[in-house]
């Protein structure tokens, strides 16, 4: 049974932990608003950009003029998994959920006889996947020194991916990130970015005829690399909002759990002190009766 001093020290330690988790919750809440605004502001542009590319892609179809980023290499043997996670932890299941989805996809592909290569952005994803899939790692992008993710960071990742595609290092690229819905809901998402795949059902452009100058193939050849960078940037913004939302929820739970633990330890401390006082009174009374 712990002594009164041990219980008192433990109560003080948990109180200090609660102060830290409360402060982290408030910081995450402040960062969440800015990150959420950035993610939501990027969605209309990304959706419209993908809509235009989808319309162009449907016009080109599988013609000989179709760019390689759209038509692919003609094979699907080698897959590049681009896994976007956070540089820091203490954000609940945010990192582990993305890593779990990427691991499941990698194992499914390997079981089907495919070749898997992994490029990680964020230390937590690298650390989580290294145990099972370390042999498949080909590169890592460190953003720990970046205070606020920008389009240039997405461009650097896209440039690396595109250069590997031009060198025929892979056939298909899949992006893994977390789609932000709200503070308590972040959805792990897998999105194919190479060859480009667009959903054109939400647009009315297929009922309208456009004449392009230059032709659709030339426009796509210029826009598709930018589209890869745009999708990566949108995924980074979604990840930023999801990370802060998950951290806010995790720190709120930790703060409440610390409060519950303090209450239990306080009750245990009071009972132990009462037992000590009772024993001392019994000893005094027993001594007085003996005299």
Residue 182 designated active-site: no
Strands (E), the chain: 78-84, 115-121, 137-141, 172-182, 185-194
Nearest Cα residue to 128 out of 165, 79, 174, 176? 176
Name residues whose C-beta falls within 8 Å of residue 99's C-beta, 6 or more positions apart in sequence: 83, 85, 124, 125, 128, 129
Q: What is the largest CA-CA distance in the chain?
A: 114
Inter-CA distances, 16 with 10, 23, 131, 247, 253, Å: 10, 11, 34, 19, 16
Of 91, 102, 174, 183, which one is the catalytic site residue?
Answer: 91
Phi, psi of 11 (to 5 degrees): -60, -45
Active site residues: 91
């Amino acid at each position: 049974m712990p002594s009164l001093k041990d219980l008192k020290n433990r109560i003080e330690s948990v109180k200090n932990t609660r102060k830290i988790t409360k402060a982290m919750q408030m910081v995450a809440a402040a960062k969440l608003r800015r990150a959420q605004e950035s993610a939501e502001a990027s969605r209309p542009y990304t959706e419209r950009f993908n809509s235009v590319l989808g319309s162009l892609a449907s016009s080109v179809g599988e013609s000989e003029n179709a760019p390689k980023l759209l038509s692919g290499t003609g094979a699907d043997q080698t897959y590049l998994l681009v896994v976007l996670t956070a540089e820091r932890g203490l954000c609940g299941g945010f990192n582990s959920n993305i890593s779990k989805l990427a691991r499941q996809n990698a194992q499914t592909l390997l079981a089907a006889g495919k070749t898997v290569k992994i490029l990680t952005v964020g230390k937590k994803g690298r650390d989580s996947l290294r145990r099972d899939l370390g042999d498949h790692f080909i590169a890592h992008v460190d953003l720990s020194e970046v205070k606020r993710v920008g389009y240039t960071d997405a461009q650097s990742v896209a440039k690396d991916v595109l250069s590997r595609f031009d060198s025929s290092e892979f056939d298909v690229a899949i992006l893994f990130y977390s789609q932000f819905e709200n503070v308590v809901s972040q959805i792990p998402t897998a999105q194919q970015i190479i060859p480009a795949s667009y959903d054109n059902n939400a647009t009315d452009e297929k009922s309208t005829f456009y004449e392009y100058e230059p032709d659709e193939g030339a426009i796509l050849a210029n826009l598709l690399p930018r589209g890869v960078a745009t999708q990566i940037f949108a995924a980074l913004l979604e990840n930023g909002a999801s990370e802060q939302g998950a951290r806010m929820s995790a720190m709120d739970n930790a703060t409440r759990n610390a409060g519950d633990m303090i209450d239990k330890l306080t009750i245990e401390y009071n009972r132990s002190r009462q037992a000590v006082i009772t024993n001392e009174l019994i000893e005094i009374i027993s001594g007085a009766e003996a005299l």
